[in-house]
Chains A and B, each alone.
Chain A
Amino acid sequence: MTALLEARPATRTTPVAIRPQRTRRALDALLTGVGKSVAIVALLVVWEAAPRLGLVDATFLPSFSTVLGAWWDLLVSGQLLENTQASLARSLAGFGLAVAGAVPLGLLIGWYKPVATVLGPLLEVFRNTAALALLPVFVLLLGIGETSKIAIVFYACTWPILLNTISAVGGVDPTLLRLAKSMNLGGFRLFQKVILPAAVPTVFTGIRLAGAVSILVLVAAEMIGAKAGLGYLINASQYNFAIPQMYAGIITISAIGVLFNQVLVSVERRFTSWRVPVGA
């Protein structure tokens, strides 16, 4: 057998060798695609099958197709859009304010070591206080309107950004600082040319965490006192026993969360392209 295979002319083996390689690459791509979606598909299959087979009470967990139907109705009636808009506006406002405020503040605190030493324990306390525990305080001080909701999102988003920015400044490669010092680069130029670009990746980690937090906290806040928003939609649906609608609200929130994270990841990639091997 082997003797026969080896005896084949070389001209014939070349195209034969290329074709399986190409097919294998396509197969590999397909396999990764399948591999990545297999868990989600499995979850949906179980979700669809369990109520239908009577494994769970269909009243409390309607099948996935029922939920999709309810989702479509909400979309057509415009309710979904209205509530999503309300949620996104609050979420993005709080998140945006936190980015605008916490990044510069974190850079300042990180740069002035004594300030970081003094404020460190205080920041640690705030960070470890669950933002939602403070929700009643925010409502007490700012009422149940938009202000208190944006404020709680802002508050919750501030900590991951602030702490990551502070550690980003502290974590700049000391060799680069020595280099800058040897070149007599000081003050603002050192900050602009070395510290700031070196800090970007870690700052973005904080921003991404804050992105997740902004949706998490907002939904909870909307469940307590709101007339619109996805949190309100979920809560109100549950009160009215519109269970499919409740699940429709929940999957909308997951989708928004995943999407928001993807957006932040791609922004991060743009800013830190030098870290990802390009074309390698």
Chain B
Amino acid sequence: MEKAEVSLKAVVTGLMQALREAKLLGDMESARLIKTYRKSMPSFSVPAFAISEVEVELRFAVAESQELRRRGGAQPGDIKIKISPETLKGLEPHQISQLRIKFSPVELRVFEKPEEG
């Protein structure tokens, strides 16, 4: 069943996981080609791509359920939203929020112990 309200946190997390898994799909394809390249095209480098930037525009309506009112409003980072197209279609433009998110890869940091003295 389609849920009327979903967590914004879950949606953003889902987007990040999807991008990570998409990158993984690409990396797996590159890894699969390594053997072929070593055998047939040793001087060529195996193709591999990075996802440099992903821009997502999310349209949603903040849900005002009885549960949220009872708790005194939505908690930061745990906002319940409505995202189904049917729901958004029936709303006034001012009731629809728009969120733009840019995802970029971050290099893993290596922390080194500072030299003493």
Chains A and B are bound partners: no
* Residues of A participating in the B interface, judged by any CB pair closer than 8 Å: none
